[in-house]
Structure 1
Amino acid sequence: MLHRLMNAWASPLGRSLIAGLCLAAAGGGAHAQAYPNKPVKIVVGFAAGGSTDKLARVLSQRLGEVLGQSVVVENRPGAAGNLAAELVAGAQPDGYTLFMATLSSQAINPHLYPKLKFDPVRSFEPVALVAKYPLLLVVPPQLGVNSVPELVAYAKANPGKTFFASSGSGSPAHLAGEMFRLATGTAIQHVPYKGGGPAMLALMANESQFGFETIPSAIGHARSGKLKGLAVTSEKRSVAAPDLPTMVEAGLKNFAVTSWAGLLVPAGTPRDIVAKLNQATLAAIQAPAVNTALTGDGAEPGGGSPADFAKFMADEHKAWGEVVRSANVKVD
């Protein structure tokens, strides 16, 4: 074997072939060493100012420091995150276009939109789970409701006239409201808005009687007194609102809703780049400034390997499919 290799090396063609094989073998390492050599983009499927956007911006600064390149956030709102997902699914698989995927885009929308232009699994490579966060049940102070049982009583006394606001049809906030309807047997009506911000404004104006919204988006309004928090949808009380009960503590059995967000890249992105992004994301999440920002907003920092995130998304896809079917949720 050695004799044949030496003979091959003696000819120009042989040297060219052997050099090519060596470069191919080293190709995986070369990807990681050269990456990144230009700015990286995180695409967010919601408008600026929302919880997903806020999370992406908190993460991007530290992620850029870890990677040694600027990381910018690009907002592409529309269709509950579907437009952003389509954009990233069709991007070059080179590690420079990331998607801040959410519970909506990966686990809820596939059950609501029959003709998506992306596959939640095949179109992407998972990088890492960034954060999980519960929702906050809020009401306008002028409603005069101070607890979940009082809200249930109000809804039963006003069938068909009790409206709940959400950040959009098919959103976690919408599905939480539908779960509330099923759990309480009330005739409540859904009012979708174009984002969590408009939904919160509608509640403050008493246009709707209650709503669920992620803690990062709603906690400031609750702390200021513009809205009244009644409960959190996590299994345990939130460190951001320790005085508020969970929905289970408030009397609704098995009521738990946790939203989440994580990074994906287009399918076909080299594994060494995915691994580098995973390591950089974990380092960014664990940085004290990022960790404090997340926990202060009631979020639970994520982590884990790409394989861990893939399994997590598969479990979420199955679980929320059952919720959509049970509640007979349709996009308005």
Structure 2
Amino acid sequence: MTRFSLARRALLALAIALPAVPTAAQGAWPDRPLRIIVPAPGGGGTADTIARILAQELEPRLGTRVLIENRGGANGNIGAAEAARAAPDGYTFLFSWAGTLATNLSLYRTLAFHPQRDFEPIVFIGTVPNILVVNKDLPVRTLKEFEDHARAHPGAINFGSTGNGSSMHLAAEMFKTRTGVEMTHVPYQSPATATNDLIAGRIQAMFQLVVGIQGQVKGDLVRPIAVLAESRAPQLPEVPTTAEQGMPGLVFGTWFGLLAPKGTPAPILARMNAEMNAVLDDAAARARLVQAGLAVGGGTPGQFAAFLDSEIRSHAELVRAAGVRID
């Protein structure tokens, strides 16, 4: 149960009660397909998979096609900028995540969009937690043993990530900040390459996403140490959390949200919020999302706006601590 669950349940009746939304330029909304821009490549990645599940679930509720449009590149900046430029007519939405909406504000000197200035928050979708995994030859099995080993061998543990400012990078930086240990960051172009190097022993650790590494954990190719979450991941229920191992503040993951271009009519935003909350509360849809690795969220636009504001500030602190810039 998340902080958004009670608000989500209170909104469910609206999904049924709200009528079709009229706009000035057209009849009932929606009267043509919607598009959701996902600022990542297609092909089954975490964001793409979750977005497509949501689109499929929304279609019968809205009575129209909901098309996923992949616009990858520049850590999500290209797709987000395109969504920000779209007409605020209720037919274009942005499905994005922490890196693009929070981290990039501090990681890049200039952006062609601003997540708060250029978008209307609709709903917090949920979180995919990070998990600390290590090469099987590393002589550690608990979070404390990992910390002690890193402290005894400063800089000797090489941790892989999908690049500066990625969730895998910032999760490790949070661990370093909390513990004061030294580790060496090794950025990769893709999580698959980093994972292969972890298995081979060319790097010693990763703060991977649960959904991205669960197969290798179950296949006994890497050793799981701790899930960076408040509760255990249903995909890997045998792996204890950081809180269970004495670090309750070490919580990190990639979260997702749905937004619309600034100026989108309020009735459309309300309808989309209600319909999305209904999807997130539907048992069959939740099962599909959990299988994709999501800790399901929900709630009001105001809750999402407040959450986004706090995440922008906390990610800025992590980026400053890491001392990284892209441009």
Distance in structure 2 (CA, Å) of the matches to 1:114 and 1:82: 12
Distance in 1 between residues matched to 2:163 and 2:284, nearest whole Å: 31
| Equivalences, count | 306
Which residue of 293, 309, 313 corresponds with 1:314?
309
* Deviation sequence 1:136-189 (CA, Å, 0-9, x none): 111233445322233234433443332111122101211111112223333211
Give the letter aligned to residue 127 of structure 1: I
Q: 1:260-311, CA deviations, whole angstroms, 9 ceiling, x for partnerless residues? A: 1011111111112212211221122222222012234552211112222111
Aligned residue for 1:244? 239
What is the aligned partner in structure 1 of residue 5 from structure 2?
Answer: none
Distance 1:244 1:86, change over 3 A: same
Indicate which of 141, 166, 169 corresponds to 1:174.
169
TM-score (norm 1): 0.84
Aligned partner of residue 186 in structure 2, secondary structure: strand
Could you tell me which residue of structure 1 aligns to residue 66 of structure 2?
71
Which structure shows the bigger proportion of residues in helix conformation? Answer: 1
Structure ID, larger Rg: 1
Note the alpha carbon deviations across 1:245-265, whole angstroms, 9 max, x for none: 222332435211132101111
The residue that corresponds to 2:121 in the other structure is 126
Other structure's SS at 2:56 match: helix
Q: Alignment RMSD, CA only? A: 2.3
CA deviation after TM superposition for structure 1 residue 100, in Å: 1.1
User: SS of the counterpart of 1:34?
Assistant: strand
Change (3 A) 1:242 1:79: same
Q: Does 1:43 align with 2:58?
A: no
Equivalent pair of 1:46/1:78 in contact (CA under 8 Å): yes
Question: Contact (CA 8 Å) 1:80, 1:168: kept in 2 or not?
Answer: no
Deviations 1:97-148 (A, max 9, x none): 2111211111111111120110110111111111123211112334453222
**Using CA pairs below 8 Å that are at least 6 residues apart, which structure has the higher relative contact order?**
2
Q: Percent identity between the aligned chains?
A: 37
Where structure 1 has 5 or more consecutive residues not aligned to the other structure, the ranges are: 1-26
Q: Is residue 2:87 matched to residue 1:92?
A: yes
CA distance in 1, matches of 2:280, 2:27: 22
Q: Would you say 1:254 and 2:249 are equivalent positions?
A: yes
Task: Indicate whether 1:29 and 2:22 are aligned.
Answer: yes
Do the aligned residues in 2 keep the contact of 1:167 with 1:195 (CA within 8 Å)?
Answer: yes
Q: Is the 8 A contact 1:93 1:270 kept in 2?
A: yes
Q: Which residue of 2 aligns with 1:217?
A: 212
Q: Does 1:148 align with 2:134?
A: no
TM-score (norm 2): 0.85
Alignment match, 2:104: 109
Separation of aligned partners in 1, 2:192 and 2:32:
33
> Conserved in 2, the CA contact under 8 Å of 1:219 and 1:297?
no
Letter in 2 for 1:231: A
**1:271 is matched with which residue?**
266
1:201 to 196, 208, 218: 196
**Distance (whole Å) between structure 2 residues aligned to residue 28 and residue 280 of structure 1:** 13
1:234 alignment partner AA: A
Alignment of 1:15-26 (within 5 A): none
1:20 alignment counterpart? none
Is 1:227 paired with 2:222? yes
2-structure distance, mates of 1:75, 1:143: 39
State the distance in 2 between where 1:194 and 1:231 align. Answer: 24
AA paired with 2:62? L
